[in-house]
Structure 1
Amino acid sequence: MLDSNDLLETVKQAAYEAGTLLREGYSQKGRIDFEQKGASDFVTYYDTTAENIIIDCIGSAFPDIAFLGEESGLTPSSDSDYTVVIDPLDGTNNFLHGVPHFSVSIAVTKGNELVMGVVYQPLLDEMLWAAQGMGAFLNDRKLTTPSPRPMTELLVSTCLPYHAKGDCATALNQLTMLMPQVAGIRSPGSAALEVAYVSLGRFDAFWSQGAKLEFWDIAAGIVIAREAGCVVTDLNGEPNPGDWNSLLAAHPERHGQLLTLMKND
């Protein structure tokens, strides 16, 4: 039988090893080679190698487990209910441009339920992690639910659509509704990290609908934010939709207000 504590520690170790590669790659001088998968969608040696490091690390300890990777796709398992969901380099565009905001994101599902999440920022050596029922942590420090700020003091993060990746009109409408209500809106470029940052209070909320986010972009952050006491749903208020086409993570006292605001777009 799979030991969930062992799996969690292995996932954390895999994130650290992948992050070490990314930190070394980021420190190199000069242009990083890449391939373009689609509009504003790039892949580098570091994406694919980091994903392989994660799969090798976890797969060697848990050979029956399934994987869903951004670069490698689905590797199913007939013997395990667990699937490891991997974004080996969330924020590739930032990484390519020398912007120090990117992360390794690894989540674990059991059946259709998110049960573990790890988001590692290698440049800061900050590992945000959580497991269902255990709470959320920054490295070894357990997190408590951040105090809610008034709406007029909120700093909110989002992902915006570029090129053909999403619905620009929806994103602009929601920005127009939100901008007069809050203290600031940011789009730093690593959704996994920004959803997880809601658990720290670095952002008071994260929302996205216009941008096209994949499950591996947000899965780990969802677990961390929830275990820190935040509410995470789609913009219809569904806590576990079949397909995450939108997202809102916020403090319980602000989630409903923001949800109502977004629905009026």
Structure 2
Amino acid sequence: MAGEHGVGMVDTVDLLIKVAKEIYSAVHPLLGTVDARKIVGSGFGGDKTRLIDAVSEKVAIEYLERNNFSCIFVGEECGVRRIGSSPNFYLIVDGVDGTNNAIKGIRFASASLALSRTGFLGDIEAAVVMDLYNGETFLAERNSGAKRDGETIKPSEIRCLKDSIISINITKNTGAARRLLPIISRAKGIRSFGSAALEICHVACGLLEAYIDLRGVLRTTDFAAGMLILKEAGGIFLQPNGEEIPNVPLTEVKRFSIIALANKELFHEISSLITPSTSLQGGQTTIC
């Protein structure tokens, strides 16, 4: 198609910000409304697709098509979609991370976008997470640090659990809850907000010391952007056993347990307190 262009012709972060703003403009008026919660189909990972989710991806795709970008679009709802005839980058989009919050009007939900030229998680080179309530924007570009509304960010300097505010997600998983009891009993405070991407960014800027999800259900679309932002800020993003997230294809549904932290000292303390598990979760073995 004449006039098509790829990411090499535009700043990668600038593109992600523009797409995120399109999502924000379309989604913000729907937050907390009856229409937002309408079920309109099933998503890429098998979850129900709400109207607000479908709208977020629709406007993102329309922006790319309108501006003649050619890419492989990987959406949490629509799955893998080729845009244009000569794609040269992969755009990973979770238009509404925290859908349950968004449809109820709970003020914690985000749009999460990441870009890779190869289609692999380890090659994510730019990321943006935008708060869908107030437009606050976290961004990062590989080897260039991370920012929050234009200001450079870094994680908390707190290095012991007793002084730490930790966010966890144990939704529908009593096994994960039991494994985290030693941490819950020792941490200064426990929170659970409902948007993994935004919570990871709050670790990146020092509002939280850690975010933990041991359920084995987080998809790469949930954390791809937040992972880069946290790492570029200087934080730690690992599996509970201390291993890096493998360099998996972004076009496939892969699920993980993750720990996002301010520093290695906190990881060592937290990982030492997690009760081992050999149970099966979601049809796969959780290795910790």
1:86 to 77, 85, 93: 93
* Partner SS, residue 245 of structure 1: strand
2:50 to 32, 44, 52: 44
AA paired with 1:160? I
Equivalent pairs: percent with the same residue? Answer: 25
Distance 1:261 1:156, change over 3 A: same
Distance 1:55 1:72, change over 3 A: same
Distance 1:258 1:180, change over 3 A: same
Q: Deviations over 1:189-214 (max 9, x none)?
A: 11111011101111110111115111
Q: Tell me what 1:150 maps to.
A: 160
1:58 positional shift: 3.4
Q: Is the 8 A contact 1:234 1:247 kept in 2?
A: yes
Q: Deviations over 1:83-110 (max 9, x none)?
A: 1111111111111112111111111123
Alignment of 1:173-192 (within 5 A): 173-192=178-197
Q: Is the 8 A contact 1:18 1:88 kept in 2?
A: yes
Report whether the alignment pairs 1:254 with 2:266: yes
Alignment of 1:68-83 (within 5 A): 68-76=74-82, 79-80=86-87, 82-83=89-90
State the distance in 2 between where 1:239 and 1:82 align. Answer: 23
Q: Is the 8 A contact 1:34 1:42 kept in 2?
A: no
Report whether the alignment pairs 1:105 with 2:112: yes
1:53 positional shift: 1.4
Q: Tell me what 2:280 maps to.
A: none
Unpaired runs of at least 5, structure 1: 163-167
State the distance in 2 between where 1:206 and 1:87 align. Answer: 19
AA paired with 1:53? V
Report whether the alignment pairs 1:10 with 2:26: no
Q: Deviations over 1:53-93 (max 9, x none)?
A: 11222354463311110111012588555211111111111
Distance 1:130 1:5, change over 3 A: farther
What TM-score do you get using the length of structure 1 for normalisation? 0.87
1:198 to 189, 196, 203: 203
Q: Tell me what 2:24 maps to.
A: 19
State the distance in 2 between where 1:189 and 1:104 align. Answer: 13
* Partner SS, residue 187 of structure 2: coil
Q: Is the 8 A contact 2:236 2:260 kept in 1?
A: yes
Q: Calculate the aligned-residue CA RMSD, in Å.
A: 2.5
Q: Is the 8 A contact 1:248 1:259 kept in 2?
A: no
State the distance in 1 between where 2:65 and 2:210 align. Answer: 34
Larger deviation, residues 82-91 vs 103-112: 103-112
What TM-score do you get using the length of structure 2 for normalisation? 0.81
* Partner SS, residue 117 of structure 1: strand
AA paired with 1:158? I
Count of aligned pairs between the two proteins: 258
Distance 1:250 1:9, change over 3 A: same
Larger deviation, residues 56-65 vs 9-18: 56-65
AA paired with 2:111? V
